[in-house]
Amino acid sequence: MAKKTYIKAITEGIDIALAEDPKTLVFGEDVGKNGGVFRATNGLQEKYGVDRVFSTPLAESGILGMSIGLAATGWRPVPEIQFMGFTFEAMDSIAAQMSRIRFQYNGTKHAPITIRTPYGGGTHTAELHGDDLENFFVGIPGLRVVAPSSAYDAKGLIISAIENNDPVLFLENLRLYRSVKGEVPDDKYTVPLDKANVVQEGTDVTIIAYGGEVSEAQKAAKKLAKDNISAEIIDLRSLYPLDTDTIFESIKKTHRVVIVQEAQKMAGVGAQVASAISEGAIMYLDAPVTRVAAPNSVYPFPQTENVWLPGARDIEDAVREVINY
């Protein structure tokens, strides 16, 4: 087992899926010879050929429309949308078509499509390149949404997503691609698509996060520990469906919760988590549910994104607020 970057782990997972199933196809803008804009598919076309790993025109609706046709004829497509901000171009394919196939055919047909897309800020990108739009997708029945925060989970989840028979939106946090490293086995393994992970155990407060905000929660927890505040950190991993069992068990122990998301606060994943807690675990709380999120505005210019994005200090302040309630 060696230390690998988040993006290297994703590449390895896709490689394994291609090797195991000749019906797996990987494609998207610049995905072929260039290995994708971030090189997540680097070397795969050379290894598996242009018929299985190939570039497409810059047409997101075409990429996902083709994915539906391929899935309907027995293939297992792994399309890439270059940035999450461009998924709106293909929303009809996601919300009105691929996610409904299992229901339309009473479970006799499926759409085993894994849509990979980078998302999130912190890398000073242009407009539409740093958007967090997961809130638009977690309410679509039939679509799974996952967002790994570690290299280990990135590899295990991409393999699970590709092997799954329902469509999966696989969110890859931009700032984690090369900044996060972890121990990752060389061989195949899987991570469940519907199970949260307790990253750090604690007794005083539960911090729930996902994607790039998990590392921010860990930074905050280190500072809080200096004041003898013990934080338990839950990485959601799966945004839909939610693993409420893990969340509730933690709250039973800590009696306080802070929910963190990088996206805008309104109608976000954090709101759904808070709603689930109010329905299933409110009796265990000693303080109100507190949320940390970005402002309800469009993603800012690169010069101001560090102020706009939720960080460790924001999480720390929120925890102190619920501790002192």
Residues serving a catalytic function are: 129
- The CA–CA distances, whole Å, from 179 to 8, 122, 204, 218, 223 equal 11, 11, 29, 15, 21
Which pair of structure tokens corresponds to residue 274? 């808070």
Beta carbons of 65 and 98 less than 8 angstroms apart: no
- The CA–CA distances, whole Å, from 267 to 206, 210, 238, 274, 291 equal 21, 16, 17, 11, 12
Beta carbons of 147 and 237 less than 8 angstroms apart: yes
In which element (H, E) is residue 19 found?
A: helix 6-20
CA distance 63 to 56: 7
CA distance 83 to 78: 15
CA distance 237 to 212: 11
CA distance 111 to 241: 17
Give the count of beta carbons closer than 10 Å to the beta carbon of residue 52.
18
Beta carbons of 101 and 109 less than 8 angstroms apart: yes
Give the count of beta carbons closer than 10 Å to the beta carbon of residue 298.
10
Length of the chain counted residue by residue? 325
